[in-house]
Amino acid sequence: MGTLNKKVTSYTVKITDEQSLKLEEGLKARGYKFKTVAHAKFGASHDNVSLSLFKSGKLLIQGKGTSEFVQFFLEPEIIKEIRFGYEEVLEGFTGDRIGVDESGKGDYFGPLVVAGVFLNAASERKLRDANVRDSKKISPGKIMELRKLIRRECRYSVVAIGPERYNQLYITMGNLNKILAWGHARVIENILTKTSCRKAILDKFGHKELVLNALMKKGRSIEVEQKVRGESDMAVAAASILARGEFVLRLKKLSEEFEVKLPLGNKKDLVIAAGKSVVKKAGMDALVQVGKIHFKTTREILM
């Protein structure tokens, strides 16, 4: 493993078209001399740094001043992400990626929540130091603590589909996996407005094509990978924590609104008792506002 202080004389990174325009403007303002380089948009040099920006978007930086150029100009002003050096010191880092996971699909009461988290080497290191892992292996209190850390350190998106909206979507789509695909796609699209990323990892829940078909313009070029036990990936684990934390908070609000303790999960006797209390207090139509009414338990609640 290297260190962040290691002197680097060559560095390669891929940048977007928008970033390349900002780079060119910044180099001109700093007095760089431009030159023609084969197969490149342009080449430029100044003092102890030379660089070539190729048509593919690959930027090659060379010279004794490479480290300083990347750390003090390229990353803070052009890329807007701190990556340099962490690739060497973070053992097991698998690259920039978006992890997506959901919470609430097996719970009768409450919303369906889908969350996504973007990780690069720097943010993954912080999450690893905090022992971020699958939300199912963490206590409720720890989930809320880690939720704050992830929201502070990472780019993320959370899409919460409340019970009423969920029930409408289920009637329209007729399939839970289609709703999940829609939620996963929205989360990925939202994160892609904040960062350029080439890969998304999802916990496997259905055919990958469902998500691919639900993606819009920004998401069409991203690589989507589905993994069994996806929470073994740090990005997916972080997403699972955001999703579960949001689910628990929203279920608590519903409990307060309807003045009934709505239980987690789908344990039959607890769900039926709480459901009957909701109906008694607010009427049969209130179930649509608190629960996923396509569950078989609904029939027993209304008996």
pTM beyond 0.95: the answer is no
Q: Residue 118 — left, alpha, or beta (φ > 0 → left; ψ -120 to 50 → alpha)?
A: beta
Strands of the 49-54 sheet, one edge to the other: 10-14, 58-62, 49-54, 40-46, 33-35
One domain, residues 182 and 63: no
pLDDT confidence of residue 5? 43
pLDDT confidence of residue 251? 97
Mean pLDDT of 227-232: 75
Cβ–Cβ under 8 Å, residues 195 and 218: no
Tokens of 30: 């700093």
Would residue 156 count as lying in a domain? yes
Confidence band of 252 (pLDDT split at 50, 70, 90)? very high
Domain that holds residue 61: 10-89
One domain, residues 34 and 126: no
Confidence band of 90 (pLDDT split at 50, 70, 90)? very low
Tokens of 40: 């490149």
Mean pLDDT of 99-126: 93
pLDDT at 299 > cutoff 50:
yes
Would residue 152 count as lying in a domain? yes
Instruction: Give percent above pLDDT 70 in the chain.
Output: 90
pLDDT digits (tens, 9 = 90+) for 139-171: 999 999 999 999 999 999 999 999 999 999 999
pLDDT at 73 > cutoff 60:
yes
Confidence band of 204 (pLDDT split at 50, 70, 90)? confident
One domain, residues 282 and 221: no
Residue with the bigger pLDDT between 83 and 288: it is: 288
Biggest distance spanned by C-alpha atoms of the chain = 81
Total of domains in the chain? 3
Cβ-in-10-Å burial (0-12, 13-18, 19+) of 1 comes to exposed
One domain, residues 47 and 17: yes
One domain, residues 52 and 190: no
pLDDT at 134 > cutoff 80:
yes
Cβ–Cβ under 8 Å, residues 15 and 80: no
Would residue 145 count as lying in a domain? yes
Quote helix, strand, coil % in the chain, to nearest 5: 50, 20, 30
Would residue 2 count as lying in a domain? no
pLDDT at 32 > cutoff 60:
yes
| β-sheet bridge partners, residue 44 | 34, 51
Q: Which residues contact 244 (CB under 8 A, 6 or more apart)?
A: 103, 113, 135, 143
**Residue showing tokens 């829609």:** 182
pLDDT at 274 > cutoff 90:
yes
pLDDT at 92 > cutoff 70:
no
Tokens of 29: 């303002």
One domain, residues 119 and 211: yes
pLDDT digits (tens, 9 = 90+) for 55-70: 989 999 999 988 889 8
One domain, residues 173 and 246: yes
One domain, residues 108 and 83: no
One domain, residues 37 and 130: no
Would residue 5 count as lying in a domain? no
| β-sheet bridge partners, residue 160 | 113
Instruction: Give percent above pLDDT 90 in the chain.
Output: 58
